[in-house]
Structure formats: C-alpha cells, structure tokens
Structure 1
C-alpha cells in the first residue's frame, strides 16, 4: 500500500469544467427547441394568419381606390378636351359677327366723314361771300370791359378784407413767453442756522416773472442741511445772476447759492 501514488488518494474532480460545458450546451439546445415550439404553437400561427389577412384586405382596398382614381382622372381628361373643343367653336362664331359689324362701322364712318367735309366746304364759301360790315361797326367797342373791371375791384376788396382778418387774428394770439425751471441749492453757514427762517427770507424775494415752488431740506454732512428750492422765471424779466446775488445778500443765513438743475419750459 505504501507504493500507491499519493494523488490517487486525493478527492479532486479534474474533469468538472468539461461536464459544466456539456451541461451548458445541453440547456442552450433545450432553449432553442422551446422557442421553435412556441413559434409553431397554434396561437402564434393564428396571429400571423390574422395579420396576413388584414394586410391582404388593405392591399385590396388600396387597389380598388387606385382604380377609382384612375377612372375619375380619365373622365376629367375627356371633359377638359370637350370643353376646349366647345370654346374653339364659340370663338370662331363670335369672330365672324364681330368682323361684320366692324366693317359696317368703318363704312358708316367713312360716309359720315365725306358728308362733314362737304358741309365744311359749303360753310366756307358762304362765309367768304358775306360782307364784313359788322366787323367794321364793332371796332373799338368792348362790351365786357366794365364788367371785368368791376370783378377785379371786388376781388381786390375781398383779398384786402381777408388779409386784414388774418392780421387781426394773428395779433390776437398771445405771444409765447420763454420760461425756465430752476432748482437752487441754498447752503447755510453751519448746523445752527435756522433753515425755516432762511427759507422764509428766500421766499420774500418777489419780482415780476418770478414764481417760487416746492422746497426741501437735503442733508450734507455733520448735521448740516441745505435748502433745495424750485422756482420758475420768465427769461425776459428775471436774470439768474440777479436772483443768485439777491439770495446771497441774506448774509446772516446764506453762505452760497448753486444751480442744481436748469430746464427750459
């Protein structure tokens, strides 16, 4: 017993991969056979046959509709040809009477022209044979001169009247007055300045063409506020420099005056 190979006593299955591969192939073949069996089952066959029947029916309907459309198109072509033939015949019939009427009209026009020329010749000969006494009697006489002069005088009067009315209307219109809207920044000396009294002194400045508006206090720094006041002035009556100098004359309250905004109205 001691001479036996030690590997013979080991319980190792060296051929297991071969068996696994064989088992895998076996189950794959079984799966393929199952698919084939499912495909050949009665339910699958019925479904396929139903689809084939529906497709055949749709194909038949399409063929029928195509045939109907083809027949309709053929009828339309025949109808168009008949209409074209009818239009040609009507056109020929219409051309013949029109040509006849035109020829008759030309003949009538020619006859009328010959008669008119004859009448003109007759009238010319009669005019030459008549004496020209009336022309000699009427020389130097203008029957309508007085009427034309009166019409000219009336037209001139109407024209002058309208010009006078226009000038009166123009003079009544009020002339445009040029105005400006100004926002002034009035700065005090310090934070102890009485701003209400300063505004009161500023508004006491009155002049023709000066109108004071709204005002407010705008903070500057260190508790100091400036008075921002709006006014409207007439440019021809009030000078901005004069207004600034007049406000600066309030020396007890006003340090300086600046223009914050200026707009023409």
Structure 2
C-alpha cells in the first residue's frame, strides 16, 4: 500500500525544516548556496521556492477587492430599487384608503341627510293628523278636523309613488363563432316591454373565437319579470344559445 505522505512537501522533522529554512535565507542573501552545503539542502531550497511561487500564484488568482466592491454596489442598488417600489406601493394603498374613507363619509352624510328629511316629513304628517282631541263635541272643531283630513289626503295623493327599478346585466351566448353578433344584438333589442329600457352593450371574448353579448337594461320590478324576459330572448334560437344574468342591482 502506498504511503499517502510519500509525495507530500511537508517536513515532519523540525530540524530538517529549520535547516532548509536557514539555507533558503542564506540563498536569498548571498544569491547561491555555500560550497559546504550538501545536495539535500539545495533540494529543500528549491522546494521552498516552488511552494512560495504556488502561494504567490494562488494569491494572484483571488477575487480583487474591486470585484467585491462592485458586487456590493450592485446589491445595494438592487435593494434601493426594491425599497422604492415598496414605497410607491404603500403610497398607492394610502391614497386608495383615503379615497375609500372619503367616499364612505360622503355616503354616510347623504344617508344622514335623507333620514333627517324623512323625520321632518313624519313630524309634519303627525302635526297634520293632530285633530283637536279635546274638542270632539265642538262643531267647529269637527269641521276643522274634517278639513285637515281632506287636505292631508290630497297631499298624500299628490306625492309621486316610488317606482322600484333594477339595473340588470345580461350575458347572451351564441351557438358558435359564425353567428352574426350584430344580428343577435338586434334580436335582443327588438324585445319591447312596458318598464324595460335597453342600455349599453359590448362583445366579450369567450374561447375559440366565440364572443358573447353583454348588455345592460333597466327594468321596473312591478312590470318586468326576468323569467319572461329570458323566455323572449332565447326564443331567437337561430342565433342565441342561452342567456345568463351577470349582475343585478336595485336602483
């Protein structure tokens, strides 16, 4: 079995190492080895020279300080860019929250104003209904009460009735990509009902070149039924495959 230290350049005996080091220092000072130095010392000197050359070569091959500095600068620049992006995102979120807060305050203010108006109307109605309960047997009080009741009934009759309406977004799908979408929209808009008003529309891509018609309409809840509207739309079976309600909102 081969000894792993056979070709190693490390001296395990201190005296020989010190002798070689001393010979090497004399060689550096005098330029050559004295005549009485034996051949073994010269060999050790050469070995030390080779080792020093290896060390110098290894030191020359290390990464320069400038390279390390450039890498750190690039890293710092990258971190600064990420920090700036995070700052921009935080600022956008802050503006969004501020806008939502303003909208919420405005909505609450409108709601409070409406509640205040309704409260005043109720108080007025209560005042008009105050019919002199303490003077029920008096003829003049009875006459005044009847006049107030009549005026109150006329006022209620003149108030316009609130019509419940809804905004509906409808998706109308064709059979395939060869369907004439303009003709399809014409078929949908041709449906006329009391309390139905058609609005804006657009074509939305689905898949494989097929597009669907998204159209908005406003309906009066008491006059228009979505079931009846769907039956009339899908009745154009040559162009329309199906209809779906994409959005429904009370107005």
TM range (shorter): 0.3 to 0.5
Q: Which structure has the greater CA radius of gyration? A: 1
TM-score calculated relative to the size of structure 2? 0.45
